[in-house]
Structure 1
């Protein structure tokens, strides 16, 4: 079972919060797969990751660029099969209310959702219930004045 963390965005938008989390994964020698709902959002995030300032280097690819095995971060709109991410990632980032059918293929799942969007919050609650029923170890993080704060 995966360690499944819910990340409640309340202070910064996704485009600011995500690069820092991805940077932590890379600095620890990990690989990540980032799942988005829409191809247009994937293209926008792809561009944003190349120009982000903190961290200033997030090497990544997508189905458009190909060669997933060479990409430390893989952006996609597709779910994985039981074999896991095409880039060998052990970290799965779920954005825009996406879910994963094969979470067991990952060590850690990070589910980021916008706290200012009532539909996103309701959808995250549904994913929490499903992940809990599936037996995943759950944690809930919320942005606070000093960064991410783990809540009980």
Structure 2
């Protein structure tokens, strides 16, 4: 059972934060499912992840292609199976995370928009569901342009 990390976005976008976190997962040898709430959000995130300097290239693709199983980062929608056998999951836009799936992964990141009251409430509900199921979780907030750990809930034995 890995860690569940909640990232309260107040300065950075989901794409920028994903662009910083995902290379670490790939360096650890993990394939990642990046779950978006809907097709429009997935297309936007896919486009944003292609932008930037060449040295920051992040290999990824939306689910439904012929090479899904080989994608290091596979962008999915709720209910889509991740064909790339991920060891980590990142969600954006309030996409759901089931406690049983989180327990089987090395890492789960929940990125949520701190300026959207509904997104904050959704993240709070996800925190309650995941920690209520006995998973450990961390809450990270942007403080002065840097990420700071603000709260931690230990896993239950």
Equivalent residue number for residue 140 of structure 1: 139
Instruction: Show the counterpart of 1:86.
Output: 83
Does the Cα contact within 8 Å between 2:69 and 2:83 map onto a contact in 1? yes
Q: For residue 100 of structure 1, what is the aligned residue in structure 2?
A: 97
Q: Structure 1: give runs of 5+ residues left out of the alignment.
A: none
Residues in 1 aligned to 2:55 and 2:118: alpha-carbon distance in whole angstroms: 30
The normalised TM-score by structure 2 is: 0.85
2:10 paired residue number: 10
- How many residues in Structure 1 have an aligned counterpart in Structure 2? 149
**1:148 alignment partner, SS class:** strand
Contact persistence 2:10–2:115 (CA under 8 A): yes
Give the secondary structure class of the aligned counterpart of 2:19: helix
1:1-150 maps to which residues of 2 (within 5 A)? 1-53=1-53, 56-79=56-79, 85-101=82-98, 102-150=101-149
Q: CA RMSD in A?
A: 1.9
Task: Name the SS of the counterpart of 2:50 in structure 1.
Answer: helix
Runs (4+) of structure 1 moved beyond 4 Å? Answer: none
For 1:55 and 1:138, locate their aligned partners in 2 and report how far apart those are by CA, in whole Å: 32
Unaligned runs of 5+ residues in structure 2 are 152-157
User: Which fold has the larger relative contact order, with Cα–Cα distance below 8 Å and residues 6 or more apart in sequence?
Assistant: 1
Further displaced range: 135-144 or 101-110: 101-110
